[in-house]
Amino acid sequence: MSDSDDVYTRAAHLPDPPVPNERPVGLPVYRTSAFVFGSAEEYADVLGNRAPGYVYTRIDNPTVDAFGSAVAFLEGAAAAQCFASGMAAISTTLLTFLSAGDHVVAPSSLYGGTYSMLAHVLPRFGVETTFAASVEEAAAAVRPATRIVYGETIANPTLTVADLSGLAAVARDAGALLVVDSTFASPVVCRPLEWGADVVLHSATKYLGGHTDATGGVALGSAELMRQIRAMRSDLGGSMAPDEAFLLHRGVATLPLRVDRQCESALAFATAMAADERVEAVAYPGLPNDPGHALATKQFDARNGSTRYGAIVTVAPRGGREAGVAMCNGLRLALNATSLGGTVSKVSHVASTTHRQLDDAALRAAGIAPSAVRVSIGLEDPDDLVADFTRALMP
C-alpha cells in the first residue's frame, strides 16, 4: 500500500485482499483483467511463456482454467482451452490448423453455424470443404491437401451418429486431424478421444452449463494441440470471461445427474411421438429402428444396463413446414427458444431457425424435413411433455 497522504493515490492503491491458507470449497472468481508482477523480468518471462503464471485474462485466467480442467477431467483429455462461445471454439480450432490451399472433409448433416463457417467463410481464405454423408464418402473425398476430418458425435439436427473410429481411421490415413463436436452427447454420453478423435469441441452453453445462464465453448485434446489452439485464441481474442467460467464450472458438477434424467425422458418422449400417426418421422438414436441405434449402443455409455442416447429428439409432423411451425406455436410447456441442454424443454423449427443458413437444396442434402422440429428435453415429467406435444400436433 502507498504511504502517501493523498486521497487519490491512496484510493488507487488499496490494501491487497487476504489470501487464505485454506482451500475454498466454492470456485473463486478472478474478476480481473490483469495480474501484478514483482519485476519487469518476471512479467516478460510469463508473457513470453518462459515461466508459468497469469498476465492478462484474454490470454489466461485461473477461474477459466479451472473450468477447462474440469471438462478435461470428464472428457479424459490432457488439456483444454476455453472460449467465449461454442462457435468461437469451432472457428478458432479450424483457423489454428488450416491455411490457404487446405481442405476439410465434413458431414453433410452439420450444425448451421459450422456449415456457414465451412461453406461461406473459410472459402474466402482459400480453404475448401467437401461434405460427405458417410465414412465411405469421407474416405473418397480425402485429398493430399486434407488437413481436418470433421464430425459431430450426434449430428444437429438429424441426430445421425458419427462412426468415430471409422472417421479416425480416415483422418489417420490422410495424415489429418479428427475434430469432433460432441456438444449433443456431452462427456456423460460419449468421449470421442477414446474413439480416436484428436480434438473434441463443446458448446459449453448447452449441457455443460445446463442452466441457460452462461455462454461458452471448450476445445480438448493433447497438450501440444491445445498449446497451438491457445496461441490462436489469444490472437483472435475469443476468450471466456471468468464469470461465465464460474457459472459453467458450477453446472459441470450436476452434469451426470441432469443428463441421465434427460436421456431417460427423451427415450420415453421419442417412443410416444413415433407412435403418433400425425408424426411423419422421429429421429432419436435410442429408438431400435433408428439408423444409428446399433452404432450409438456401441459408442455411448451405459449405466445400470441402460445406454444413454442423448436428450435431443427431432420430430417431423405430417403436413410440411406449416405443421412444424404450428406444433411449435401450440406448445405450453416446451419453449420456442434458441439453444439446448437446459433444465426447461425447448423447441426450434429447424429450417427457419438453427439451419436458416441452408437453402432448400442443402436442407435436402442434409436430410432435414421442412417440418422438422428439434426438441431439447429438459427436466420436466416426460408424461407432461408427451401430453404437451400431443395437444399441439395438428389433427
Domains and their CATH numbers in the chain = 61-252 (3.40.640.10), 256-392 (3.90.1150.10)
Average pLDDT, the chain: 95
For the chain, the distance separating the N- and C-terminal CA atoms, rounded to the nearest angstrom, is 74
Query: Across the beta sheet with 279-283, what order do the strands follow?
Result: 279-283, 312-317, 373-376, 346-349, 335-336
Contact status, residue 287 vs residue 293, Cβ threshold 8 Å: yes
| DSSP label at residue 61 | -
Cut 0.85: pTM above it: yes
What is the reported pLDDT for 354? 78
Q: Is 1 a residue whose pLDDT tops 80?
A: no
Query: pLDDT, tens digit, for every residue of 324-364?
Result: 999 999 999 999 999 999 999 999 999 888 777 777 777 77
Using a 10 angstrom Cβ sphere, with 0-12 exposed, 13-18 middle and 19 or more buried, the burial of residue 39 is: exposed
Contact status, residue 111 vs residue 181, Cβ threshold 8 Å: yes
User: pLDDT grade, residue 3 (50/70/90)?
Assistant: low
Q: Report residue 70 as a C-alpha cell.
A: 474440469
User: pLDDT grade, residue 2 (50/70/90)?
Assistant: low
Q: List the Cα angle 331/334/338 in 5-degree steps.
A: 115
Residue 127 DSSP SS3 = coil
Q: Is 320 a residue whose pLDDT tops 70?
A: yes
Query: pLDDT, tens digit, for every residue of 43-100?
Result: 999 999 999 999 999 999 999 999 999 999 999 999 999 999 999 999 999 999 999 9
Q: Taking residues 125-145, report their average pLDDT.
A: 97
Contact status, residue 92 vs residue 238, Cβ threshold 8 Å: yes
Computed on alpha carbons and rounded to an integer, the radius of gyration of the chain in Å comes to 23
Smallest CA-to-CA distance from 372 within 318, 292, 310 is with 318
